[in-house]
Amino acid sequence: MHTPQQVRQPIQALTPVIRPKWSIWWKLLRPHTLTASFVPVAIGTVLALPSHQIRLDLLFIMLLASILMQIATNIFNEYYDYKRGLDHEHSLGIGGAIVRHGVDPQQILAVAQCTVISAIVLGLYLCHESSWWLLPIGLCCAAVGYLYSGGPFPLSATPFGELVSGICMGLVIIMISFYLQTDTVSTIAVMGSISTSILIGAILMSNNLRDLEDDRRHGRQTLAILLKRTKATYCLIGMFSFSYVWILFLVTIDILPLWALLCFISIPRAIQASQIFLKNTTPESLAPAMVATAQTNTLFGFSLILGLLIQYWSAH
């Protein structure tokens, strides 16, 4: 086990802090995770499309604010996992700017803080154009982005990481995006957000399954640790399954159009992830399952959006 001090000393001795290359910063952003911030905004907006004229300026600003908040969360996670000694040179799924490339941790923290401030400034514009009631909701989301890995009791170390992340990045973002275009909330926005929220939680669950043994050694109490590997894997499979069953249910009760079933083309990716998790336990062997889980969320979201757009275009 590495303490923060043990990690920091060899890095400073062997790798001097220099101006990092753009590729180091690009990897720090974890760009493969950013679709999780794009998809909810797009879904909320497309759900509003049949009944309202879309304001593209609000869509663009909301999209940018959501992406910036996701980036800030990723960078905060990189910084605080390093500070707690969770990350080392051979850790999987990290940007590695600190432990591999010797970037000054305080520089990383400053970038995260500036990114959050930028997202909040954009949020203020959205409040001005819509409703100031959105301000406390947005600030709560910003706080969750920080508290996911920061603070004395990070959410990522508790059994509630999947739930809170799913609600904030799925339900809340979809509802805000819908409200910005309609000035109201509706059943279709709430019910249409559930599958996306669950799949965002599934990404976190897959991450915790991969890191289960390492997290246990560091005293973390994630949902995967509490359920233990086998039950946690079946929980993940249940999350996948419910996401598709829920869309089918919404189609049968005419909340969503038949074209929404286009999202079922992502099922093979969910099956691939499930099979890998059922057959493997080492972090290296589970890395492809994490990729497949993220791809499931991305493909599900984009195909659902496409289905809703096809329905709208065919009706107009």
- Average pLDDT of the residues of the chain: 89
Tell the residue number behind the tokens 């990897």, with chain if given.
Answer: 27
pLDDT at 94: 57
170, 193 contact by CB (below 8 A): yes
pLDDT category at 90 given cuts 50, 70, 90 is low
pLDDT tens by residue, 123-169: 999 999 999 999 999 999 999 999 998 888 899 999 999 999 999 99
252, 261 contact by CB (below 8 A): no
d(CA 43, CA 276): 29
Count the neighbouring beta carbons within 10 Å of the beta carbon of residue 236: 28
Q: Where are the alpha helices (DSSP H) in 193-315?
A: 194-210, 212-217, 223-227, 229-252, 267-279, 283-315
d(CA 124, CA 282): 45
The pLDDT of residue 11 is above 60: no
pLDDT average, residue stretch 294-298: 95
Rounding to the nearest 10 degrees, give the CA dihedral for residues 294, 295, 301, 305: 160
- Domain coordinates in residue numbering, the chain: 4-315
Count the neighbouring beta carbons within 10 Å of the beta carbon of residue 280: 16
Can you give the pTM of this predicted structure? 0.88
Tell the residue number behind the tokens 């709560």, with chain if given.
Answer: 140
289, 273 contact by CB (below 8 A): yes
Backbone angles phi, psi at 213, to 5 degrees: -65, -40
295, 288 contact by CB (below 8 A): no
d(CA 179, CA 44): 8
Q: What is the largest CA-CA distance in the chain?
A: 65
